[in-house]
Structure 1
Amino acid sequence: MAVTNLLYVVGSLILMTFSGLSWAITLPKDKAEATYHYYDGGGVEVTGPALFVRKSVVDSVSVAGAYYVDEISSASIDVESYASPYEEERTEYSLSADYVEEDAKISITYVNSDESDYQSNTFHFDYVEEFFGGLTTASLGYSSGSDDVLSNISDFKDSADHDFYRMGLAQVVLPEMVVRVNYEHISDRGFLGSPYRKSVVNGVLFDENLPRTRRSNAFSVGADYFIETWSTAIKAQYRYFSDTWDIKADDFRLSATKSLQTHWIIEGWVRYYGQSSASFYQDQFASVFTYRSRDKELSDFDSYSLGLGVEYLFQDVSWLKTPSLAFGAEWIRYQYNDFYEYLNGDFNQNNNKQLYEFDATVAYVSFSTNF
């Protein structure tokens, strides 16, 4: 699931044109977009298309639909340790509507995700309003998700529910600069692990067992700065995360987007992410604790990434308005600080192990147009 979520975010990074900083609330433009995404790293390969269409139905209402596919082939270190390589497909559908009235916008979205052993349904509600002549923008949001967790190798079945609260504030502090602050709270309940993953106790495999509740908080602060003489927008953001599983994480991101003449836009970004391990995570346990996991995503690890994206803007053709072709790639380095790789999956070979690390590549190509 972590790889899929990462790919969904990165694969949707279609570059935006900066012709000055303007945050007036308006109805999104009618748009169609087709994207192909690719991920390869840690023995996992994910590919697939994504389609998106948005259309105004009246002056103040716009509706949109999206279709997203992941073709997943996995021979990750988890699979090598506990199971056999596998292939599966995940499909996702979403429908949304935006309503704009003067200085406010309401957005409602439904998302359905389906794969052979995991189904989820999520509803999103967001409200955005401008104040003080558009200098201040406030936002509130809520999401509710319900998941069914299954297994392809047993009759296992369980469920999980998620509530996601968010609020944000953006303030124009200079004609060319905006500062943003955001807060998020997530409440998870139910089965929050994997029916396949194992923990290791003195070299012996046991099913992992995670708490059935989790509460998370995240706070972020960032700034967008536009340099008109260079036709360049610079964005910086820091995000701090903590939860009731004792995970704490720092996330830094810096990006620059530049217009080249009239047809080209280029964006580059760097990112660092680091987190501490969950209180019930261990690479190997000395005894059978109530809660235990060897999920590397709950361990102490760092990641570094470097990305580049390019967009070419075509001239209008017939009913196509500002059509564009975008493509980009991101390199990511993962370094785990207390998760080890064992030769041939033999967890008793403590003298023949090494800390796990790997490189991943994310790439996308996308064509979009207004109409």
Structure 2
Amino acid sequence: MAATESRAPTGGAILAAALLLPGLAPLAQADEPPERNAVDVKFMSYEDGQPGLSRIRVHSPTVSFTNRLGEHWASNLTLVHDDVSGASPRWHSDISSASHMHDEREAVDLQATRYFQRASVTLGASSSNEHDYRSKGLSVLGKWSTDDNNTTLSLGTSVSNDRINPVNNVVQDERKRTASWIAGVTQVLSTEDVLQLNVGYTGGHGYFSDPYKLVDNRPRSRDETTLSVGWNHYLDPFQAALHTSYRYYSNTWGVRSHTLGLEWAQPLPNNLTLTPSLRYYTQSAASFYYGPTYDPALGAPFPVGYTLGSTAYSSPDQRLSAFGALTVGLKLDYRIDRDWSVNASLDRYEQRSSWRLGGGGSAGLAAFHANILQLGLRWQY
């Protein structure tokens, strides 16, 4: 059936455009627990840098257990260990030997899902611990599907409570609390097309500053709004799926961003699937970000006109600057047999101020890049 035909597809056709790509298929099966238990083992290696300078390196093994508990329940337990090392800039691109660091993070996420006829409710709890940062969170997500399974609605909320105790004692026992809401709809348009729309909001209060950067003083509240649209289209001549996505983000600090994504999932002989991807990201700068032009009397890292002891909002964090970025990726999935499968992906991220959409990127910043390698193994039983 062509995508332009108006006749609604049957319930069994709901996965035609979704199965080849992640993200949409789980929403389309809101009332069905997993058929089999599964263990997923993953390893992620991340390294970023600037011209002539290696910065942060992260090694992150993860193990996840998905279990079907009778006819109406399922659980998922995910354990993560992050090993972080390298040199993070004190301001802009300035790095000294004193800034070299090593840190470890342990995280656990537990979810339990109750399935009903055409609906499900998922409860979640998470905890993350570093030597200077602890976070705990709770979440709930509900999904409901129509009788023909062609429309799935979702509504969720989450809260987190963070405690910050930096080793330099700039602050002690600071807190940050956030609450988030998300609402979405997934609609099967035809046997070749699935559309997804999500709207999200997060309100946060507490300590948002970076205690390891001088002259970093951020507002103690931040509201964030997101709007995302995803479209999966199944291309019958190639037996492949095309996934396009767009995400808009804004916050009360003045940051506005746009993300465009494109993926092509191509099945190959011998149970292989190859997925190249391309993503473009652009954002405006926070209202209190300042570039690498320093006060002539005080020098770096103080902005021009800075007064010692000032409580005005300011930050040299280049993540709050105006820039554009491109990510090129390639993923390979291989199903060994009914029980075992493996996957590997490699992404290259490049960031430039001049790549900001419409121009006007923050001046004076060095180019930034990152490589992300991910390996995965799944066993179902």
Q: TM-score w.r.t. structure 2 length?
A: 0.82
Distance in 1, Cα, partners of 2:319 & 2:103: 21
- Please say if 1:36 is aligned against 2:36: no
Distance 2:47 2:184 in 1: 34
Q: Could you list the per-position Cα deviations for residues 303-324 of structure 1 after superposition, in whole angstroms to 9, with x for gaps in the alignment?
A: 10000010111124xxxx2x10
Note the C-alpha offset of 1:153. 2.2
Whether 1:65 aligns to 2:94 is no
Once the two structures are superposed, residues 215-253 of structure 1 have per-residue CA deviations (whole angstroms, 9 ceiling, x without a partner) of 011111121111234221111011111111111001100
SS of alignment partner, residue 133 of structure 1 = coil
Residue 24 in 1 paired to residue 29 in 2?
yes
Are residues 1:50 and 2:62 paired?
yes
Q: Does the aligned pair in 1 maintain the 2:89–2:99 contact within 8 Å?
A: no
Whole-angstrom CA distance in 2 between matches of 1:78 and 1:252:
31
> 2:336 is matched with which residue?
314
1:163 positional shift: 0.6
Alpha-carbon distance in structure 1 between the residues aligned to 2:239 and 2:122:
31
In the alignment, what sits opposite 1:350?
none
Q: CA deviation at 1:77?
A: 2.9
Instruction: Report whether the alignment pairs 1:76 with 2:88.
Output: yes
- Partner SS for 2:211: coil
Offset at residue 105 of structure 1 (A): 1.1
Quick check: 1:17–1:265 contact (8 Å CA) kept in 2?
no
Letter in 1 for 2:287: S
AA matched with 1:310: L
Q: Distance in 2 between matches of 1:228 and 1:108?
A: 38
Alignment-derived partner of residue 163 in structure 1: 179
Match of 1:239, SS state, is strand
* Residues 1:117 and 2:124 are matched in the alignment: no
Q: Give 1 or 2: higher strand fraction.
A: 1
Choose from 263, 269, 283 the match for 2:271. Answer: 263
Of the three residues 301, 309, 331, the one matched with 2:348 is: 331
Unaligned runs of 5+ in 2: 1-17, 50-54, 294-302, 355-360
1:163-312 matched pairs, under 5 angstroms:
163-199=179-215, 208-283=216-291, 284=293, 285-288=303-306, 290-312=312-334
| Aligned AA (1:32) | V
Distance 1:66 1:357, change over 3 A: same
Looking at structure 2, the residues matched to 228 and 107 of structure 1 have their Cα atoms a distance apart, in angstroms, of 35
Aligned partner of 1:365 in structure 2 is 375
Give the 3 Å change call, closer, same or farther, for CA 155–242 of structure 1 in structure 2. closer
Q: Distance in 2 between matches of 1:311 and 1:197?
A: 41
TM-score by length of 1: 0.84
Checking the alignment, whether the CA contact within 8 Å between 1:215 and 1:243 is kept in structure 2 is yes
Output the amino acid matched with 2:232.
D
For 1:297, what is the secondary structure of its paired residue?
A: helix
Q: In 2, Cα distance between the equivalents of 1:214 and 1:17?
A: 37
Matched residues in 2 for 1:59 and 1:49: separation? 31
Deviations 1:58-107 (A, max 9, x none): 11101111111111012133375474201111111111111110100111
- The number of residues matched between the two structures is 329
Structure 1 letter corresponding to 2:199? Y
C-alpha distance in structure 2 between counterparts of 1:188 and 1:78, whole Å: 25
SS at match of 1:210: coil
3-state SS of 1:18 partner: coil
- Give percent identity, aligned residues only: 23
Displacement after TM superposition at 1:280 (Å): 0.8
- One-letter identity of the residue aligned with 2:198: N
Answer yes or no: is the 8 Å Cα contact 2:118–2:147 preserved in 1.
no
- Once the 2 structures are TM-superposed, how far is the Cα of residue 339 of structure 1 from its aligned partner? 5.5
Amino acid at match of 2:223: R
Q: Tell me how far apart the structure 1 counterparts of residues 29 and 362 of structure 2 sit (CA, whole Å).
A: 47
SS at match of 1:134: coil
Q: Is the 8 A contact 1:40 1:46 kept in 2?
A: yes
